[in-house]
Structure 1
Amino acid sequence: MGFRHKIAAGTAVFFLSATAGAGGLPEGPALNRMVETLDADFFALFFQGCDPDRLATMLTPDFEMYHDKDGEVARSAAPFVASYAQRCATRQAPDAWRSRRELIPGSMTVHPIGTIGVLEQGEHFFYERRGDGPETKVGRARFTQLWRLEADGWKLARIFSYDHEPVK
């Protein structure tokens, strides 16, 4: 089912090996590059990939997601990953809707949250196509995500996805 009809809300992010130095979080441009990598890896997996086991490693157990159109999407990682796995199976059909997300250049901001992680904010476009058909830009939204630095790397803890609007 396409974006206009309803993108299955969700987002999760891949953990990257902790690149923090002895003092904690990376700083300045290194922090921005790290978050850009986390962001790109998560969204590529979520919208275009299909690897529930990998998705599970990207989320904190208490992962939560909220969406302006769908409300409360997730209150923990396990059911979110199970829903993603079902979507993966559905997307295998030759005429299934396929979606892609693109970060709007220059829209991302990153804010350290003490020593626990970072808050990422930005805007993105959504594209969709049916099967192997032509891709169309269909939507735009804002997002806020909390990335938490855990013992085994960076994990996505919270997502707020809002201000969704169609693009003509």
Structure 2
Amino acid sequence: MHTLNALESFIATWLVHNKDALPGIEFDPQWPSLCYRDQNLKSGDMTSWQPQKQTSPSDIFTRLGAALETDIHPDITAYYTSYWSNHLSAVAPAGDLVLLQVWNEEDMERLRANLIGHCVTKIKQKQPLSLFFACTEPDDGILTLRNDDGTIWLEYPGKKPVKQIADNLPAFLSQLKPR
């Protein structure tokens, strides 16, 4: 299974799980997104949101790879460039987590900056390059994709990877349940 298929499958399950009560968010015209279910609101009005497929490809991972002087693993590229969404709560066999997502183009640029910072730390610590995509709850761990082989790892900021969680991102996403 490919990352896009696994992510689409999880999002479809997440939407069914939340069909009676999509999550709410304050509308912010300065933070636009296709995810807002109602676009005709005033600032601060509550509205629901849901993930929306991205229609134009982002070059964020080409630019990220250029900044880091390496190719970025295609699984993480597919993961972040397929949908616009707020973060998605999920349950994995090992516990609760939040899948990090991007809300709009500006959020994509913030993600790029944060990924660069994470990768620079990894390089300084002489650890394998990894890219984060989820946070564990309640222990503040991060789930990362190791860039050289696509394996999924549990890490804690500033420390060596703790434990391999899955062989690849599609396998990991396939085991999740919405929360």
TM-score normalised by length of structure 2: 0.27
Instruction: Using CA pairs under 8 Å that are at least 6 residues apart, name the structure with larger relative contact order, 1 or 2.
Output: 1
TM-score normalised by length of structure 1: 0.28
